[in-house]
Amino acid sequence: MRKLFIAGNWKMNMGPKETSNFFKEITQLNVNSAGKVDAAVCPPHISLLAASGNKPKNLNVSIGSQNVYYEENGAFTGEVSISMLKEVGCEYAIVGHSERRQLFGESDAFINRKVIKCLAEKLTPILCVGELLDERKSGTHFDVVKLQISDDLKGLTAAQVSNLVIAYEPVWAIGTGETASPEQAQEMHAFIRKELVGLFNNDVAKKIRILYGGSMKPSNAQELLKNEDVDGGLIGGASLKPDSFAELVNIAEGVVK
C-alpha cells in the first residue's frame, strides 16, 4: 500500500519571516505526530534555510524546492543545484510544474534532464504533468499526459524511477477554484499508472505515488484522496496557512482505502 503524501507548493509566497512563523504555528497543531502520511512543504528558494532552521526535529514535515537545475555548479545565473538544495535540507524538488512550463518555457527535454539528475542524486522529484483546458475540451488530455510522461521519463530504468513521485495537475484546475471531479482524477491516475506499467513494469508502477493537484482543499480532499490511484495531493493555495495544511494532513491520515 502506498503511503499518502501531502505536499504544499507555496509558489512565490512566504518569505523567510513568514516561513519561520508557519513552522512556529504548525508546531502547536500536533500535525502528523504518528507519521502516518508523508508531508512536505516547498517554499521559495529564499525561504528554504528559514524552513529547515525553524522546523522542529520531531515534526514530520519534510522540505522540498519548487525548482532545480541539473548542473552541479558554474555559470548558470539564477539557478540552484541539487547539492545546494540538499545542503539546506531539501528532500524533494518539484519539477516541470505547469507554471514553469508555460511562463518560463520549460520543455519536456529540459524537464527530463532534471528528473534524471534528481533521481541519480537522490533528491526525490515531484514530476508535474497535466493538460490545458482546451486539451481537456477537445478530448486529447490522455494523449497529452501520455507524451509528457514518456518524454519526461525518457532514458530511465525501472530501478531508477522507483522513488519518483508524479503529480497530475490539470492546468485548468490550478489556482482556479475549479477541481477535477474524483472520477476525473481517478481516471487519469489509473491511466498514468497503466502507462508506467508499459514504460517500466508492474511492480514499479504500483510503487510510484501519483498525487492530484488543482484546487485541492480541506473541503474536497477526502473525496479525492479516497480513490484507489490518488496517493496524495500537491496543494498550492490551501497549503499556505498552517491550520489548513494541518487539516489536509489530518484528512489524509484518516483516509482508509
Least distance (Å) between residue 87 CB and ligand PEP: 25
Dihedral sign computed on CA atoms, order 40, 214, 143, 182: positive
From CA 164, how far away is CA 147, in angstroms rounded?
17
Least distance (Å) between residue 97 CB and ligand PEP: 6
235 scored as a contact of ligand PEP (CB under 6 A):
yes
Report whether 232 contacts 252 (CB < 8 A). Answer: yes
Least distance (Å) between residue 173 CB and ligand PEP: 6
169 scored as a contact of ligand PEP (CB under 6 A):
yes
Smaller CB separation from ligand PEP, 97 or 146 = 97
229 scored as a contact of ligand PEP (CB under 6 A):
no
Tell me whether residue 169 is one of the annotated catalytic residues. Answer: yes
Closest CA to 97 of 106, 109, 110, 84: 106
Smaller CB separation from ligand PEP, 216 or 230 = 216
From CA 32, how far away is CA 251, in angstroms rounded?
10
Smaller CB separation from ligand PEP, 237 or 242 = 237
237 scored as a contact of ligand PEP (CB under 6 A):
yes
| Interface of this chain with ligand PEP, residues 99 to 118, rule: CB under 6 A | none
Residues touching ligand PEP: how many (CB under 6 A)? 14
Least distance (Å) between residue 58 CB and ligand PEP: 27
Name the one range near ligand PEP by CB under 6 A: 37-45, 101-109, 188-196, 214-222: 214-222
Chain residue at closest Cβ approach to ligand PEP: 236
216 scored as a contact of ligand PEP (CB under 6 A):
yes
Site map (CB under 6 A) of ligand PEP, residues 127-166, x = contact: ----------------------------------------
Least distance (Å) between residue 230 CB and ligand PEP: 13
Smaller CB separation from ligand PEP, 61 or 129 = 129
- Which residues belong to the active site? 97, 169
> By the criterion CB under 6 A, which residues form the site for ligand PEP?
9, 11, 169, 174-175, 213-216, 234-238
